[in-house]
A and B are shown apart, each in its own frame.
Chain A
Amino acid sequence: MERVINKVSQNIWEIPQTGKMHVPGRIYASEELMQILRNDASLDQIVNVAQLPGITGFSFGMPDIHWGYGFPIGGVAATDIETGVISPGGVGYDINCGVRLIRTNLYFNEVKNKIKPLIATIFSAVPSGIGSHNAIKKLNLSDIQKILMTGARWAVENRFGTENDLNFIEDRGCLQGADSDIISRRAIERGLSQMGTLGSGNHFIEISKVADIYDDIAAQAMDISIGNIVIQIHTGSRGLGYQVCDDFIKVTLQASQKYGIEIPDRQLSCAPLTSPEGKDYLAAMRASANFAFSNRQVIHSLIEHAFIQSLNIGPNELGFRCVWDIAHNIAKIEEHDYKGIKRKYCVHRKGATRAFGPDYPELPLNYKFIGQPVLIPGDMGTESYVCIGTKTAMAETFGSSCHGVGRILSRSQAKKKGATINLFKELEKSGVFVMAEEKSTIAEEMPFAYKNVTQVVNTLYETGIIRKVARLVPLGVVKG
């Protein structure tokens, strides 16, 4: 039986509230993207998420939505903090997987012949691939406890970057309310040697150039201009985060039974936000998110040194500065004025980005009047977008946007399609030099495996959820 999906307006679709759903589903998709989605299991997952206690408004699907486990990837769910639940599956295993954008003083013409050595230097400075480790000296227990409690500040205090970087990280690189004592010994062991490492799968470091500017004022606030060289880092909390998620799914499976919460999928196990189990997960997730903020800060510093070494220039000439650092696998307690009622919600964003509009008090001065930067990386062969959040996002999606492109081919389908192509050569022909620890993942991450990023971004741009600031095109990529 085909699922009922009603078109509400241009690019907005709704799955009506039926059965055990507490709210309807709402999907942001163009006609073309909806054709891809219509028979996708991610729509069933939107329906499942709509059954979580305390969910408010809608169970959202962003235009990059695709089938995940439990929650769809590209899903957003806001739960009331008094009557609602928190679900580790609504955050995912890679807690605070996110993206950092860094600007430089460099321009394409100055470095176009130096991309290969730059990528090679970064490749050797930042360990990537499975179980990558030992980017910096192995941490001790005291270090890791400080990281879990202070996030990116630990990195800055240990000379990885500057105090100013902290101003340009969501929540200044540290989620308050973390508790390192709740993190299991096993999770800590997994984190000890992984600080400053990229990991595998779809994680990457990309050197890009700014190809188009759509909003001069916002671009000036971010200090980027056409032809500028910028860097994106995409990674998260590594093995520590995976373990924390694993530990707490067990806790919340029991909690779901204990509190009589009926869940349609074990991966949606959850606990009331007011319960000891819910509070513990929130504190542990925040600590893991802090590990990820610190990880991206350390990698930022390792890449800066790679640029200095490879180009033989000084830090002032390089002008390496964090533009913004966002989390796209996270749950945050936020106050939202939803339909005229101001309340606190736990906003789960799994494969979704916070997109706060202008005037949000915690934004740094540079962005207070334009809105929060939203970083939407594309696949490694095409393009990425820098956008900003809007008041429409605040009113309609609990200040949320998409996080990337969204897969259309499974990994095995992508591998099959890429089997006869020399993927490295194809990418190089299109001007992108790639180095990868795991050669086999290159096929899985090729452009043909993903939706068209411009379509995804335009879907939200046309609905007013985001505004476009710049388009970035890749020059060199380090893949995990």
Chain B
Amino acid sequence: MLQKRVYKIFDQTSDLGVIVKGQSLVELFQNSAVVVFNIMSDFVSSGNSVKLQISLQAENNELLLRDWLAELIFLSYEKHILFNTFTFKHLNRQSLEAEAMGTFFQSGNFPVNKEIKAVTYHQLQIRHSKSGYTARFVLDV
């Protein structure tokens, strides 16, 4: 479970806005994924019964973050997995190779309480400062 200080949910009338922080780009991508799965489910899964490899490319780090989260959400719904651990073999501004680990759930017993339809491009942003990285994105729920 992430500390509240590394993320914040902001009000967006019909959807859900998220601000996430990380010391590095890797930590930002990890934290963003953890926040998304915290929003999807209250279930705290520590098991890593499944590991999936994910490779993505995008034009810049903002679009890469969006694609990363969209990919995880798609895999979660399609394969009934709640992911909890994310490691990166490679991550730069335009590509990533990562391993997402989590737990399978039986269909019909999937402990998800908030459907995320999509990770939108609205107000999508990554800022880099001396204190690290901050991402902002809006989820269609």
Candidate in A73, A131, A245, A409 with the most chain B CB atoms within 10 angstroms = A131
* C-alpha gap A54/B118 in the complex (Å): 28
- Report the minimal beta-carbon distance from A442 to chain B, rounded to whole angstroms: 12
- A94 near B117: Cβ-Cβ < 8 Å: yes
B122 proximity list for chain A (CB < 8 A) = 68-70, 265-267
Given A93-B140, A190-B78, are A246 and B13 also a contact pair (CB < 8 Å)?
no
Q: Which of B110, B118, B120, B138 has the most CB of A within 10 A?
A: B120
**Contact bitstring A187-210, B, C-beta under 8 A = 1, else 0:** 001100000000111000000000
Name the B residues within 8 Å of A275 (CB-CB). Answer: none
Q: Does A10 contact B (CB under 8 A)?
A: no
Chain A residue nearest to B141 in the complex (CB): A201
A440 touches B120 (CB 8 A): no
Any A CB within 8 A of the CB of B106: no
CA–CA, A67 and B123, complex, Å? 12
Q: A255 vs B11: C-alpha distance in the bound complex, in angstroms?
A: 31
Contact B16 A411 (CB under 8 A): yes
Assess the A130–B121 pair: CB atoms within 8 A: no
Does B107 touch A at the CB level, under 8 Å?
yes
- Interface 1/0 per residue, B92-129 and A, CB below 8 Å: 00000000000000010010111101101111100000
A411 to B110, CA, bound (A): 22
Say yes or no: B113 contacts A66, CB within 8 Å: no
Please give, as numbers and ranges, the residues of chain A lying within 8 Å of B117 by CB-CB distance. 93-94, 201, 242
Whether A266 and B121, one on each chain, are in contact in the complex, defined by CB atoms closer than 8 angstroms, is yes
**Is A17's CB within 8 Å of the partner chain B?**
no
Which listed residue, B11, B16, B110, B121, touches A267 by the CB 8 Å rule?
B121
Output the nearest chain B residue to A67 by Cβ-Cβ distance. B13
Which residues of B, 1-30, contact A by the 8 Å Cβ criterion?
Answer: 9, 11-16
Tell whether, in the assembled complex, residue B121 and residue A440 are in contact, meaning their CB atoms are under 8 Å apart.
Answer: no
Nearest chain-B residue to A189 (Cβ)? B78
- Bound together, the chains give a CA A67 to CA B122 distance in angstroms of 11
Once bound together, how far apart are the Cα atoms of A245 and B117, in whole Å?
A: 11
Q: Which of A66, A73, A253, A411 contacts B121 (CB 8 A)?
A: A253
Query: Given the complex of chains A and B, what is the CA–CA distance between A209 and B123 in angstroms?
Result: 42
The answer for the CA separation of A358 and B15 in the assembled complex, in Å, is 36
B15 partner, pick from A68, A253, A269, A409, beta carbons under 8 A: A68
| B114 and A440 form a contact (CB under 8 A) | yes
List the B residue with the shortest CB-CB distance to A413. Answer: B11
Whether A130 contacts B74 in the complex (CB less than 8 A), given A69-B120, A201-B141, comes out as: no
Contact yes or no, A438 B113, CB < 8 A: yes
Beta-carbon nearest neighbor of B14 in chain A: A407
User: Chain A residues near B140 (CB, 8 Å)?
Assistant: 69, 92-93, 242
Nearest A residue to B119 via CB reads A246
Contact of A39 with B by CB under 8 A: no
CA distance A92 to B12 in the complex (A): 16
For A410, list chain B residues within 8 Å (CB): 11-14
Q: A242, A408, A411: which contacts B118 (Cβ < 8 A)?
A: A242
Which residue among B13, B16, B117, B120 has the maximum number of chain A CB atoms within 10 Å of its CB?
B13
Give the chain A neighbours of B113 by CB distance below 8 A: 130, 438, 440
- Segment 118-173 of A: residues with Cβ below 8 Å from B: 129-131, 133
Q: What is the CB-to-nearest-CB distance from A241 to chain B, in angstroms, rounded to a whole number? A: 9
Please tell me if the beta carbons of A66 and B78 are within 8 angstroms of each other in the complex. no
Give complex CA distance A41, B13 in Å. Answer: 9
Report the separation of the CA atoms of residues A411 and B112 in the bound assembly, to the nearest whole angstrom. 17
User: Is A66 touching B14 in the complex (CB atoms < 8 A)?
Assistant: yes
Question: What's the minimum C-beta distance from B86 to chain A, rounded to whole angstroms?
Answer: 21
Chain A residues with CB under 8 A of B115? 129-131, 199-201, 438
CB within 8 Å of B: which of A428-464? 438, 440-441
Q: Which of B16, B78, B115 has the most CB of A within 10 A?
A: B115
Q: Point out which of A68, A92, A93 has the most chain B C-beta atoms below 10 A from its C-beta.
A: A68
Instruction: Say whether A131 contacts B121, CB under 8 Å.
Output: no
B77 CB-CB contact with A under 8 Å: yes
A42 to B114 alpha-carbon distance, docked (Å):
24
Pairs across A and B, CB under 8 Å, 26 listed: A40-B13, A41-B13, A42-B13, A68-B13, A69-B12, A69-B15, A69-B121, A73-B14, A92-B140, A130-B110, A131-B115, A190-B74, A190-B78, A201-B117, A242-B117, A245-B118, A246-B70, A265-B121, A266-B121, A266-B124, A267-B121, A267-B122, A269-B121, A438-B113, A438-B114, A441-B114
Residues of A near any B CB (own CB < 8 A): 40-42, 66-70, 73, 89, 92-94, 129-131, 133, 186, 189-190, 199-201, 239, 242-243, 245-246, 249, 253, 265-267, 269, 407-413, 438, 440-441
User: Beyond the given A68-B122, A246-B70, could you list 13 further A-B residue pairs with CB under 8 A, ordered by the A residue number?
Assistant: A42-B13, A92-B140, A130-B112, A131-B112, A200-B115, A239-B77, A243-B74, A266-B121, A409-B13, A410-B12, A411-B14, A438-B114, A438-B115
